[in-house]
């Protein structure tokens, strides 16, 4: 049965901006995140505490974290690859840490410079320390359907990584279609396996919309009872270490789908459109969201 309520995590300020060549100033990021904080969304991934040489677009993560106005109804999380990142994130202020790795060996190395086996102890240390500080921890698993270097990834490979992350103590898992290549039958195959092992409340789906399949895939996941999705305002986004990875599925388009289906989100469409127009003007280019194109002033 499809859920009545769905929770979206806004990843625009992190996944959305990490691949943009144009640096959005700290002032603009802060103003934009403050707008997002008032849309009704309950979680915002506001930046990444990674090596700024790897992701220059988010080099001001600490400053951003210190300056945003915190809405007590919003969980503010950020990407954290290691203890160094966690220390910075705690200084800047986070409610949640998102650790990340890949189901594909090659993508894992390209993205975080370690083999899968070498990654587990690094993440375990982050998870343990974050939990000591009473922070929620999400584990991202990338390339759950396909890797740009290795090709198809099997549900068994994904399950192994999920098992390790859950054993290491993450609260939930976000499954990433990093290059946006999956079709609904692949989503079904993966969820058939995943939901045998983990309760659906622990599973978040993270679709990139490279080939326009994200909405169909979300519909499929909804029919499996999945209630949590990562989305990005306007459809901004992409992983710089995954060639061909386009933006995340647009928050605007997912809201159009959900609200049209009568599923509530607590998010106000109009405020999302305003925040989309703000960042679209700053970037000086049309954002990929389809439904945004029909909003006046875009
Ligand atoms: P490394 O080079 O192996 O790290 O990078 P290292 O520990 O050997 O240290 C090398 C240098 O990095 C040192 O500086 C460290 O201090 C510095 P130096 O002495 O050379 O001046 N360093 C750091 N600086 C700041 N913050 C840190 C940090 N850690 C080390 N936290 C590392 C390893 C993981 C840091 C690097 O590979 C990295 O930053 N990767 C980031 C990759 C990334 O952000 N990718 C995009 C996000 S993932 C994604 O988009 C997928 C997702 O959306 C889901 C999906 O779509 O599938 C989540
Ligand atoms: Mg992503």
Higher per-residue confidence, 134 vs 298: 134
Chain segment 203-256, per-residue pLDDT in tens: 999 999 999 999 999 999 999 999 999 999 999 987 778 777 789 999 999 999
Chain segment 44-83, per-residue pLDDT in tens: 999 999 999 999 999 999 999 999 999 999 999 999 999 9
In this structure, are residues 177 and 211 in contact, taking their beta carbons and an 8 Å threshold? Answer: no
Where on the phi/psi map is residue 169: left (φ > 0), alpha (ψ -120 to 50), or beta? left
How far does Cα 76 stand from its chain's mean position?
12
In this structure, are residues 267 and 41 in contact, taking their beta carbons and an 8 Å threshold? Answer: yes
Find out whether the beta carbon of 239 lies less than 6 Å from any atom of ligand 1: yes
Predicted model pTM: 0.97
- Written in H, E and C, the secondary structure of 18-84 is HCCCCCCCHHHHHHHHHHHHCCCCCEEEEEECCCCCCCHHHCCHHHHHHHCCCCCCCEEEEECCCHH
Q: Given this model, what pLDDT does residue 204 score?
A: 98
Find out whether the beta carbon of 50 lies less than 6 Å from any atom of ligand 1: yes
Ligand 1 atom with least separation from CA of 81: 34
pLDDT above 80: residue 158:
yes
C-alpha span between 49 and 83 (Å, rounded): 10
C-alpha span between 192 and 185 (Å, rounded): 10
Higher per-residue confidence, 106 vs 298: 106
Chain segment 175-207, per-residue pLDDT in tens: 999 999 999 999 999 999 999 999 999 999 999
Q: Given this model, what pLDDT does residue 237 score?
A: 84
Find out whether the beta carbon of 111 lies less than 6 Å from any atom of ligand 1: yes
Complex ipTM above 0.85?
yes
Ligand 1 atom with least separation from CA of 85: 31
């Amino acid at each position: 049965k499809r859920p009545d309520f769905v929770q979206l995590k806004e990843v625009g300020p992190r996944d959305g901006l990490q691949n943009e060549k144009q640096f959005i100033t700290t002032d603009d990021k802060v103003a934009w995140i403050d707008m997002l904080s008032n849309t009704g969304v309950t979680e915002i991934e506001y930046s990444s505490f990674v090596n700024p040489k790897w992701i220059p677009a988010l080099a001001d993560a600490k400053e951003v974290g210190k300056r945003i106005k915190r809405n007590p109804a919003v969980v503010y999380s950020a990407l954290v690859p290691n203890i160094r990142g966690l220390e910075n994130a705690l200084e800047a202020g986070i409610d949640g840490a998102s650790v990340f790795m890949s189901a594909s060996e090659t993508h894992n190395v390209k993205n975080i410079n370690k083999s899968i086996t070498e990654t587990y102890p690094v993440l375990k240390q982050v998870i343990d320390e974050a939990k000591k500080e009473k922070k929620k921890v999400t584990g991202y698993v990338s390339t759950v359907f396909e890797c740009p270097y290795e090709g198809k990834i099997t549900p068994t490979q994904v399950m192994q990584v999920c098992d390790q992350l859950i054993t290491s103590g993450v609260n939930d898992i976000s499954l990433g279609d990093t290059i946006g290549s999956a079709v609904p039958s692949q989503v079904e195959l993966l969820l058939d396996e995943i939901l045998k092992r983990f309760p659906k409340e622990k599973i978040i789906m993270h679709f990139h919309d490279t080939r326009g399949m994200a909405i169909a895939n979300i519909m499929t996941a909804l029919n499996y009872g999945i209630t949590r999705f990562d989305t990005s305002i306007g459809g901004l986004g992409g992983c710089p270490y995954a060639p061909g990875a386009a933006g995340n599925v647009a928050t605007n388009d997912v809201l159009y789908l959900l609200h049209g289906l009568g599923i509530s989100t607590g998010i106000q469409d109009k405020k999302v459109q305003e925040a989309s127009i703000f960042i679209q003007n700053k970037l000086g280019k049309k954002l990929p969201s389809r439904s945004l194109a029909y909003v006046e002033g875009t």
